[in-house]
Amino acid sequence: MKNCNLFFLFNNLLLLCLLLFSPKDVNGQDYSKQLTKANENFEAFAYIDARAIYLDVAQRGFSAPDLYQKLADSFYFTGDLEASVEWYEKLIQTYPENLNPEYLFKYAQSLKSVERYAESDKVMDQFYLLTGTDKRAKSFINKRDYLDFIELQSGKFDIFPLSINSENSEYAPSFNNQNQIVFASSRTKKTNNSKIHGWNRMPFLDLFSSNIKKDTISLDEPIKLKGKINTKFHESSTSFSKDGKTVYFSRNNFTNNKIGTSKKGVVLLKLYSANFIDGKWTNIQELPFCSDNYSVSHPSLSLDGKKLYFASDMPGTIGKSDLFVVDVLGNGKFGKPKNLGENINTEGRETFPYISNTGNLYFSSDGHVGLGGLDVFVTVPEEVGFSEAFNVGKPINSPKDDFTFVLNEDTRIGYFASNRKGGKGNDDIYSFKQTKELITSCKQYIEGTVYNKITNQSLPNARLELLDVNQNLITEIISNSLGNYRFEVECNTEYTVKVTLDQFIPEELTIAANDTFEFTHDVSFPLAALGSVKSLLTLVPVNIGDDLSKTLQLNPIHFGLDDSSITKNAEVELQKIISAMNLYPELKIEVRSHTDSRSSYWYNKRLSVKRMRATVKYIIQEGNINWRRIRGKAYGERRLINHCVDDVPCTEEEHQENRRSEFIVRK
């Protein structure tokens, strides 16, 4: 982004001083006057003028850390990250001692601009070792697979170049609710009277409007906004009220025809409002929370007009620029600005907020992990604040600066700006069509097929329940004509899927979702027909005294510690017992209940009685089984099946083996 002075690159105000070295080259030639002039230009953010002198000195063989720093920064701060790579490399390789870690971060960003991602990652590892608590460093360490995620997110937009772009810069598009796009442009012709900005030797910016054509993507020839909204200084970044009669916009500190400067003599940015009266923008008012000593810029108004989002480096800022929100109280009054917090803001640059009609927040950042330069991110509203930020992927994002993203969620048409290769000017506006939903949370999927265990035929109309870790029902679906099903689940969460279908034995399975974005758990369910229970009893000899659970190949029926309730898992297995008893009316069983050795002998005895009674009750009531066919015994801890007696250390799994029920054939 070639005009980043408008967007808080200059908020990284360096404590610049004269070069602390003897300004002579290898031949002894003195460059004191030249370097003094270069430093004055650098301090005034006239980076291109300063750069010319620094380059001349460096190319004559002079070497010093401050020279390389300023030379690299002169490219970096004007958005030419590719050209900064050479000089950051010289700085870091030649003067590694006592290096400010911030130069490692800028070097890593510059390497991304030329798509040297593996090298950039190694530099970020160094940056993390030196900083540790820096959010940018931690974000990188926690998202080492960021390129994989960006690929997963990519391909959800089709982008189109626009004819409105000039050889200069166009960016900051916004909707004005009159089927127009309003944007900032330095398209003014260069003449002897044209005012040129020292930062990048470009004309100052004005605001223009352009009609959206019938194809909803292209724009008509731009027209400069009428009224007092444009001045001889920079104007950019607009946001309009729902009725289109009020606009908030960014401008250099120029109020009541007077230019204002900070204590350091710098003209910063402020937010202003204007009203549309008789076809012109008038009644220009500076917003009350602005200051001469920090920048406030890039407004975005919520749909209801009650909240205004913006970027600033005001007190309370975490990084070089943060995103804030302020309540719009009406009658020119506003609440106290609030920082959007660490889910959004980093030690880097967060800027260009855009709040959509559904409350999603899009913004640009170089502090969150991306492809290089400024990337566009999205975060969604939560009960308190916003979610973590998600990179919107390619083709919106590139190794260059990508910013000022706006989206009409009804038409799915939007616009953004970029200084990527192939453009017409320094920064160009592109239109786009969103084709797929963005990933805005870590989701996974459980999917598969329900089919007949014996014939392998798919089973439609099976009922599948998704249960949480406490066996509460989350949702339920029916398998389709091919027997297929699909659940969407959250990452890092445990679920149980239970399957039931008439004339088939129910099944269920527990699945633990991991932390991989968009991962699919392939889980199919082979169901055994009720007749298979009969088959098992026919094929396997059953004698009095046998445990029916082993004959029917039941999963163990366990109970929780100090618990006698029938779990969802246990219900599936008990249904098989019920099925067997319905198929064989003469079958009689004895339910034997056991506990582990923990707690006292008599407590365990009473607990096993409760568990036995709960199991018998379930079979009688749910299976409509005559009570004379089933009886129970409670053994407490008397018949442990492993070594876990009193005072012997055992795992929870080992203790659970003893908390069991048996179904012994009596007849």
Whose tokens are 């990933």? That residue is 439
Please report whether residue 152 resides in a domain. Answer: no
Is residue 503 domain-shared with residue 580, that is, in the same domain?
Answer: no
Pairing of strands 589-594, 630-636: parallel
Query: Quick one: CA torsion of 378, 380, 386, 391, rounded to 10 degrees?
Result: -20
Higher pLDDT, 373 or 1: 373
CATH number of the CATH domain containing 41:
1.25.40.10
Please report whether residue 643 resides in a domain. Answer: yes
Left if phi > 0, otherwise alpha if psi is -120 to 50, otherwise beta: which for 61?
Answer: left
Rounded-to-integer distance, Cα 476 and Cα 463, Å: 7
Please report whether residue 149 resides in a domain. Answer: no
Is residue 491 domain-shared with residue 540, that is, in the same domain?
Answer: no
Left if phi > 0, otherwise alpha if psi is -120 to 50, otherwise beta: which for 331?
Answer: left
Identity of the residue numbered 239: S
Is it the case that residue 5 has pLDDT exceeding 90?
no
**460 within 8 A of 489, measured Cβ to Cβ:** no
pLDDT band at 535 (very low <50, low <70, confident <90, very high): low
- 383-410 pLDDT, tens digit per residue, is 999 999 999 999 999 999 999 999 999 9
The angle, 0 to 180 degrees and rounded to 10, between the axes of the packed helices 101-113 and 117-131 is: 160
Is residue 424 domain-shared with residue 483, that is, in the same domain?
Answer: no
Is residue 397 domain-shared with residue 468, that is, in the same domain?
Answer: no
Percentage of residues in the chain having pLDDT higher than 70: 87
Rounded-to-integer distance, Cα 405 and Cα 124, Å: 27
**194 within 8 A of 203, measured Cβ to Cβ:** yes
Report long-range pairs for 127-134 (Cβ below 8 Å, ≥24 apart).
127/101, 130/101, 130/104, 131/101, 134/101, 134/347
Predicted pLDDT at 134:
92
Is residue 17 domain-shared with residue 132, that is, in the same domain?
Answer: yes
Is residue 490 domain-shared with residue 542, that is, in the same domain?
Answer: no
Is it the case that residue 293 has pLDDT exceeding 90?
yes
Is it the case that residue 17 has pLDDT exceeding 70?
no
DSSP 381: B
Tally of CB atoms within 10 A around 115? 12
CATH number of the CATH domain containing 379:
2.120.10.30
> Quick one: 43 exposed, middle or buried, by C-beta within 10 A (0-12, 13-18, 19+)?
middle
- 83-133 pLDDT, tens digit per residue, is 999 999 999 999 998 899 999 999 999 999 999 999 999 999 999 999 988
pLDDT band at 33 (very low <50, low <70, confident <90, very high): low
Is it the case that residue 531 has pLDDT exceeding 90?
no
Is it the case that residue 25 has pLDDT exceeding 70?
no
CATH number of the CATH domain containing 580:
3.30.1330.60
DSSP 200: T
Three-state SS letters, 295-354: CEEEEEECCCCCEEEEEECCCCCCCCEEEEEEEEEECCEECCCEECCCCCCCCCEEEEEE
Report the DSSP beta bridge partners of residue 520. Answer: 445
Higher pLDDT, 142 or 250: 250
Is residue 494 domain-shared with residue 630, that is, in the same domain?
Answer: no
Predicted pLDDT at 119:
96
Q: Which domain holds residue 80?
A: 4-144
Q: What sign has the CA pseudo-torsion 599, 602, 605, 611?
A: negative
Rounded-to-integer distance, Cα 499 and Cα 176, Å: 53
- Domain termination site, one of 527, 549, 569: 527
Which of 17-21, 518-522, 636-640 shows the lowest per-residue confidence on average (mean pLDDT)? Answer: 17-21
Which of 5-9, 427-431, 442-446 shows the lowest per-residue confidence on average (mean pLDDT)? Answer: 5-9
Is residue 463 domain-shared with residue 340, that is, in the same domain?
Answer: no
Higher pLDDT, 578 or 362: 362
Rounded-to-integer distance, Cα 87 and Cα 453, Å: 67
pLDDT averaged over every residue in the chain: 86
| Distances, alpha carbon 247 to alpha carbons 36, 99, 445, 638, in Å | 43, 45, 44, 81
Is residue 28 domain-shared with residue 84, that is, in the same domain?
Answer: yes
Rounded-to-integer distance, Cα 630 and Cα 590, Å: 6
Please report whether residue 150 resides in a domain. Answer: no
**376 within 8 A of 390, measured Cβ to Cβ:** no
Is residue 256 domain-shared with residue 275, that is, in the same domain?
Answer: yes
| Distances, alpha carbon 242 to alpha carbons 182, 307, 332, 410, 423, in Å | 15, 13, 17, 15, 32
Q: Where are the alpha helices (DSSP H) in 247-294?
A: none
**329 within 8 A of 289, measured Cβ to Cβ:** no
Is residue 191 domain-shared with residue 313, that is, in the same domain?
Answer: yes
Mean pLDDT of all residues in 339-363:
96
pLDDT band at 11 (very low <50, low <70, confident <90, very high): very low
**344 within 8 A of 389, measured Cβ to Cβ:** yes
Tokens of 217: 């993507």
Is residue 182 domain-shared with residue 326, that is, in the same domain?
Answer: yes
Mean pLDDT of all residues in 349-357:
97
Listing DSSP states for 622-655 in one string gives: HHT--GGGEEEEEEETTT-SSS--TT----HHHH
Rounded-to-integer distance, Cα 11 and Cα 157, Å: 32
Which of 17-26, 516-525, 637-646 shows the lowest per-residue confidence on average (mean pLDDT)? Answer: 17-26
Is it the case that residue 140 has pLDDT exceeding 50?
yes
Q: In whole angstroms, what separates CA 139 from the centre of its chain?
A: 11
Higher pLDDT, 516 or 337: 337
Rounded-to-integer distance, Cα 510 and Cα 550, Å: 22
Predicted pLDDT at 27:
42
Predicted pLDDT at 41:
57
Mean pLDDT of all residues in 126-145:
91
Report the DSSP beta bridge partners of residue 495. Answer: 511
Predicted pLDDT at 582:
81
- Domain termination site, one of 410, 434, 458: 434
Predicted pLDDT at 443:
94
Cis peptide, bond prior to residue 288, ω within 30 of zero: no
Whose tokens are 């020292």? That residue is 198
Mean pLDDT of all residues in 520-545:
74
Rounded-to-integer distance, Cα 92 and Cα 202, Å: 31
Mean pLDDT of all residues in 137-165:
94
The verdict on pTM exceeding 0.95 is no
Q: How many domains does the chain fold into?
A: 4
- Domain termination site, one of 434, 457, 474: 434
**609 within 8 A of 633, measured Cβ to Cβ:** no
Rounded-to-integer distance, Cα 286 and Cα 426, Å: 29
For the chain, what's the residue count?
Answer: 667
Question: Considering only CA atoms, which of 60, 69, 71 is closest in space to residue 23?
Answer: 60
Listing DSSP states for 108-142 in one string gives: HHHHHHTT-HHHHHHHHHHHHHHHSS-HHHHHHHH
Question: Considering only CA atoms, which of 43, 51, 99 is closest in space to residue 71?
Answer: 51
- 299-329 pLDDT, tens digit per residue, is 999 999 999 999 999 999 999 999 999 999 9
Please report whether residue 606 resides in a domain. Answer: yes
Residues 6+ apart with CB under 8 A from 473: 465, 466, 467
Is it the case that residue 199 has pLDDT exceeding 60?
no
- 494-519 pLDDT, tens digit per residue, is 999 999 998 888 888 999 999 899 99
Tokens of 591: 């339910």
Is it the case that residue 338 has pLDDT exceeding 70?
yes
Please report whether residue 151 resides in a domain. Answer: no
Predicted pLDDT at 254:
92
Please report whether residue 474 resides in a domain. Answer: yes
Which of 269-278, 347-356, 499-508, 513-522 shows the lowest per-residue confidence on average (mean pLDDT)? Answer: 499-508
Higher pLDDT, 371 or 80: 371
**152 within 8 A of 517, measured Cβ to Cβ:** yes
Computed over its alpha carbons, how large is the radius of gyration of the chain? Answer: 35
Question: Considering only CA atoms, which of 394, 173, 418 is closest in space to residue 300?
Answer: 173
Number of helices (H), then strands (E), belonging to the chain: the values are 13, 36
Three-state SS letters, 44-56: CCCHHHHHHHHHH
Predicted pLDDT at 9:
33
Is it the case that residue 555 has pLDDT exceeding 80?
no
Tokens of 610: 């409760």
CATH number of the CATH domain containing 457:
2.60.40.10
Mean pLDDT of all residues in 430-454:
95
Please report whether residue 64 resides in a domain. Answer: yes
